[in-house]
Amino acid sequence: MPLTDFPKVVEIKDPLHGYVALSKVEKAIIDLRLTQRLRTIRSPAGVYMVFSGADTSLMGKLLGFMHTTHILMDYLGGNKEEIQKARLAAMFLTLSTGPWENVINEYLTVRGLNRKQLAELIIKKSPAGDRLDECGYTRDEIVSTIKRGVPIKGVRFDLETAPINPELVDRLERDSYFSGVEYAQLEFRRLFQSTRVAKNKIAIHRGAIFTFESYLSAGANMFDAVYYHKSVRAAELMLLRILDEAGTELAPTPRDDIDAYLNLDDISFMDQLLNPPNDASEGMQNASKLFEDFNARYLIKMASERAISDVAFLQSISTPDGLYNVEKEIADNAGIDPSNVFVDYPDRCSVSFYPGKFDIEDLVFFERGSKGYEFWPVEDVSLLARSFERRIKLVRVYTTRGYRSKVKKAADALLESIDAPGSPD
């Protein structure tokens, strides 16, 4: 359904997309307090510490995600009902995010509560679900759209995991624009226009290979320059450690009290951490001290980094216990407390985007010839897409000020022992 035919009741000006239209049900949800709190949630959480103009909120990303979803669904041939459901799915996936956006997403995911589960809780147990009822939508149909994907031409298009991803498109363009880096000047309309549902596959016209590769390049460049920037990650690792120390005191478990969770934003976290009660727990005291350093931009420092290809090691640090064991080993060898060591790796949940985040194995290029559709696996045609199969990952070790030389020596020794020169990739 073309944007000009969308049954809009209001338009909101966006610096990237111009006027973004909202339908009756969307406006009813936008007006709720649980949505308005997105204005005071930074996204991503640590980028503004490095790029001063990137002080962006989730409200802009909510509008952008809905808008790019609409454009893609339109090019895929979605009808009015399918497009509206897709837009609502995009809205609720964004609403599921709490304070410190990407950071709390990792904190909750590790504890068994992902974005789709949170979105379902919001639909079923918050006033936003009531607005769906009032506007003639059933809660179950929107939950199904989020969990199983948007039904369109015989396939289910998952907005969270699709390799041609409307949320990523808006994120790359928005974060590039406000960070002041020029890595995401991608022609997303041409990319979407070249995308089809063909024989139950998501396919891209082979003539658009360079447009597709510019999309991959934009993501890789933004990862390298912004999302995995060493100081951006230093800030976000500090926030992660704060949640590890006092997350249960800062935020109620959404399963237990979704309304209280939906009242939280960055400001409420800041208030609690800068004004802890006199009888605060040890964890809360540690979190408060760490946040004071964060708030003053007194960030942890990178002590060591190494590109690692050892599969067993990379798998081990992808679990909370494995990550802690490596941090403790480095700390023990340096003769310091483990709380002063932070290990980071690129494909963790709190990294906003990393190459390989979306599986492109089932994505294909197509041509329509005299005998019908012909298909080619993306990785057979695009060398750039194939390069994302590499296993090598840049592992970093950070520490608090005063321990850098000790931690560097211990971390270098550990990382070099894992991937010694000449070992196979």
Residue 84 and residue 111 in contact, taking contact as beta carbons nearer than 8 Å: no
Tell me the C-alpha distance between 347 and 235, whole Å. Answer: 17
Tell me the C-alpha distance between 378 and 209, whole Å. Answer: 9
- CA separation, residue 357 to residues 95, 180, 186, 197, 348 (Å): 21, 24, 18, 22, 9
Mean pLDDT of the chain: 93
| Position 294, amino acid | F
Residue 234 and residue 339 in contact, taking contact as beta carbons nearer than 8 Å: no
In a domain, 409, yes or no: no
Query: What average pLDDT score do residues 148-163 get?
Result: 92
Q: What is the pLDDT of residues 255-284, one digit of tens each?
A: 999 999 999 999 999 999 999 999 999 999
What's the confidence (pLDDT) of residue 279?
Answer: 92
CATH of the domain at 293: 1.10.3210.10
Tell me the C-alpha distance between 156 and 423, whole Å. Answer: 42
In a domain, 345, yes or no: no
In a domain, 16, yes or no: yes
Question: Total structural domains in the chain?
Answer: 1
Q: What is the pLDDT of residues 201-235, one digit of tens each?
A: 899 999 999 999 999 999 999 999 999 999 999 99
In a domain, 111, yes or no: yes
Q: What is the span of the domain harbouring residue 83?
A: 1-180+229-299
Q: Is the pLDDT of residue 383 over 90?
A: no
In a domain, 396, yes or no: no
In a domain, 103, yes or no: yes
Q: What is the pLDDT of residues 82-116, one digit of tens each?
A: 999 999 999 999 999 999 999 999 999 999 999 99
In a domain, 276, yes or no: yes
Predicted structure pTM score: 0.94
| Position 231, amino acid | S
Residue keyed to tokens 């009242």:
263
In a domain, 188, yes or no: no
